């Protein structure tokens, strides 16, 4: 099986590198201050688990929704169309920066073996600090992994969950894909600029390398598990969205999560890539809103 997956990884790698050179496949084009989203968006920090976590908040609805960003991401870089357009009467939307990312620095980002578990606890404790009694999660990529863990670990606190671009384990094919994005000098200027603006080149480059090492460490665990053992513990209603043209996360990951999260739904977007919520924002927002209702 590993040999077959590795073979597919070789085939996918040129597609991934081509995407890096042509367009930002996992980033929102510009990192913007909260004011750029409109006067109804507030930006703040709160002390959680020994660090100050930054978040954006908008809307006045009773249904609290937390947006969880991907690798190196933040609320402002990863969720522009969601912050701007999700129904503000139905939802109160919070987009957070995990510790070491975005404006949740210091500390610098590190990747111990439990970094996803740490993020899940931080995310839940942030929403509790903001006095939300129960929340739904929208998790993209690494944020989808964090959402799965949070839903499994804190089932009474999570109402519903939408995830996309997430994986519960790491294969040889995945490792090959990750190694393909290690060197940020190979990324296009269009892709690099938002993160260099947010972080500075050195922090951006070093943290990307650290992330690759951090995510590939799971390949050496039994079954390459990140959180596959936790999937049966997820109790909340779950929608898994997958872009059929995602060059970073192969389809088998979405299928596996769908199979092992009881009662979950799988929605395929034939033209979707890794950042399907950005390039097909209207379609994605309607899909998420309808599910969360």
202-237 residues labelled b (16+ CB within 10 A) or e (exposed): ebbbebbebbbebbbebbeeeebebbbebbeebebb
Would you call 213 a catalytic residue per the annotation?
no
Give the structural domain span for 260.
2-292
Would you call 246 a catalytic residue per the annotation?
yes
pLDDT at 156: 98
Active site residue: 103, 274, 277, 279, which one?
274
What is the C-alpha separation between 190 and 129, in angstroms, rounded? 37
What is the C-alpha separation between 41 and 98, in angstroms, rounded? 19
Report the domain count for the chain: 1
Active site residue: 141, 242, 277, 279, which one?
141
- The set of long-range contacts for 122-126, using a CB threshold of 8 Å and a minimum separation of 24, is 122/48, 122/49, 122/51, 122/53, 122/98, 123/66, 123/68, 123/96, 123/98, 123/150, 124/150, 124/153, 124/154, 124/157, 125/48, 125/49, 126/46, 126/48, 126/53, 126/55, 126/66, 126/94, 126/96
Q: How far apart are the first and last CA of the chain?
A: 40
Could you tell me the CATH number of the domain that includes residue 8?
3.40.50.1820
pLDDT at 191: 80
| C-alpha closest to that of 278 among 28, 55, 90 | 28
pLDDT at 188: 87
Helix H or strand E segment including 85: helix 80-85
What is the C-alpha separation between 273 and 244, in angstroms, rounded? 7
Active site residue: 63, 119, 246, 253, which one?
246
Q: What is the pLDDT along the chain (293 residues), one digit of tens a residue?
A: 222 233 444 444 444 545 554 433 344 333 445 555 555 999 999 999 999 999 999 999 999 999 999 999 999 999 999 999 999 999 999 999 999 999 999 999 999 999 999 999 999 999 999 999 999 999 999 999 999 999 999 999 999 999 999 999 999 999 999 999 999 999 988 888 989 999 999 999 999 999 999 999 999 999 999 999 999 999 999 999 999 999 999 999 999 999 999 999 999 999 999 999 999 999 999 999 999 99
Helix H or strand E segment including 237: strand 237-243
What is the C-alpha separation between 203 and 159, in angstroms, rounded? 36
Q: Residue 17 is encoded by which pair of tokens?
A: 């590198």
| C-alpha closest to that of 190 among 8, 23, 14 | 23
What is the C-alpha separation between 144 and 165, in angstroms, rounded? 7
| C-alpha closest to that of 239 among 160, 168, 123 | 160
Q: Contact 164/140 with Cβ under 8 angstroms?
A: yes
pLDDT at 52: 98
Q: Is 42 helix (H, G, I), strand (E, B) or coil?
A: strand
Would you call 141 a catalytic residue per the annotation?
yes
What is the C-alpha separation between 105 and 220, in angstroms, rounded? 30
Q: Is the whole-model pTM more than 0.85?
A: yes
């Amino acid at each position: 099986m590993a040999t077959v997956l590795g073979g597919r990884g070789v085939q996918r790698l040129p597609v991934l590198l081509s995407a890096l050179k042509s367009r930002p496949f996992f980033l929102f084009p510009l990192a913007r201050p909260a004011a750029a989203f409109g006067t109804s968006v507030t930006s703040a920090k709160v002390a959680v688990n020994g660090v100050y976590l930054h978040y954006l908040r908008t809307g006045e609805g009773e249904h609290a929704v937390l947006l969880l960003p991907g690798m190196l991401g933040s609320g402002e870089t990863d969720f522009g169309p969601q912050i701007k357009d999700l129904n503000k009467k139905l939802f109160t939307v919070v987009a957070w920066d995990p510790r070491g990312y975005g404006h949740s620095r210091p500390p610098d980002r590190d990747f111990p073996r439990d970094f996803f578990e740490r993020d899940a606890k931080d995310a839940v404790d942030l929403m509790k600090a903001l006095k939300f009694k129960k929340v739904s999660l929208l998790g993209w990529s690494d944020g989808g992994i964090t959402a799965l863990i949070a839903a499994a670990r804190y089932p009474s606190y999570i109402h519903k969950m939408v995830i996309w671009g997430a994986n519960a384990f790491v294969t040889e094919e995945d490792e090959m894909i990750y190694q393909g994005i290690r060197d940020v000098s190979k990324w296009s200027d269009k892709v690099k600029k938002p993160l260099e603006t947010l972080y500075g080149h050195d922090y951006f480059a070093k943290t990307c390398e650290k992330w690759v090492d951090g995510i590939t460490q799971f390949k050496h665990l039994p079954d390459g598990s990140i959180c596959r053992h936790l999937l049966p513990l997820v109790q909340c209603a779950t929608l898994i969205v997958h872009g059929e043209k995602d060059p970073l996360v192969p389809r088998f990951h979405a299928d596996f999560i769908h199979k092992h999260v009881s009662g979950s739904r799988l929605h395929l977007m034939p033209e979707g890539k890794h950042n399907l919520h950005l390039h097909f924002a209207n379609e994605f927002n309607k899909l998420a809103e309808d599910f969360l209702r």
